[in-house]
């Protein structure tokens, strides 16, 4: 497993054996850092479009505006060819509605994403074989 810390706010784990990427966001995060993180993962040499992704934002302090939320979805749509497998978005309870909205917009764009408040449930879903 490759462990990386790109910034004080985002950490990355690339597990080539399990084809899994774990992104962890914490502290004060803004729109630019969020979208830069997506681009970083998509362009990382240890990442492939078939990797499954868990994005754990339970320790994050960021409340995006509606326009920022749509901008994040647009960024994911532009990078869609890089994200062909499951993406689990984990947030705390107070951000779960925002996460659900992101996942709905992503699903409409053909990105397989689901939101969770429990990291273990997110991991189980991401690692479950496709039906």
Model confidence pLDDT, tens digit, residues 38-70: 999 999 999 999 999 999 999 999 989 999 999
Question: Structural domain boundaries of the chain?
Answer: 2-127
Beta-carbon contacts of 51 under 8 Å, excluding residues fewer than 6 positions away, are 14, 19, 20, 21, 85
Specify the CATH superfamily of domain 2-127: STAS domain (3.30.750.24)
Whether the CB-CB separation of 6 and 21 falls below 8 Å is answered with no
Q: Is the dihedral of CA 91, 95, 97, 102 positive or negative?
A: negative
Determine the Cα–Cα distance for residues 57 and 119; give it in Å rounded to an integer: 10
Q: What is the DSSP string of 52-80?
A: EEEEEEEEEE----HHHHHHHHHHHHHTG
Band of the pLDDT at 2, cuts 50, 70, 90?
Answer: low
- What is the pLDDT at residue 4? 63
Give the pLDDT confidence score for residue 130 in this predicted structure. 77
Residue 118 has pLDDT above 70, yes or no: yes
**How sure is the predictor about 3, in pLDDT bands with cuts at 50, 70 and 90?**
low
């Amino acid at each position: 497993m490759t462990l990386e810390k790109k910034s004080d706010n985002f950490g990355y784990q690339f597990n080539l054996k399990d084809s899994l990427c774990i992104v962890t966001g914490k502290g004060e995060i803004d729109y630019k850092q969020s979208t830069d993180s997506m681009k970083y993962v998509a362009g990382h040499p240890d990442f492939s479009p078939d990797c499954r992704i868990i994005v754990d934002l339970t320790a994050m302090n960021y409340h995006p505006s509606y326009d920022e939320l749509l901008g994040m979805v647009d960024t994911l749509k532009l990078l869609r060819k890089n994200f062909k497998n499951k993406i689990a978005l984990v947030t705390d309870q107070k951000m779960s509605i925002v996460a659900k909205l992101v996942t709905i917009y992503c699903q409409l764009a053909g990105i397989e994403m689901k939101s969770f408040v429990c990291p273990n449930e997110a991991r189980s879903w991401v690692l479950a074989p496709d039906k």
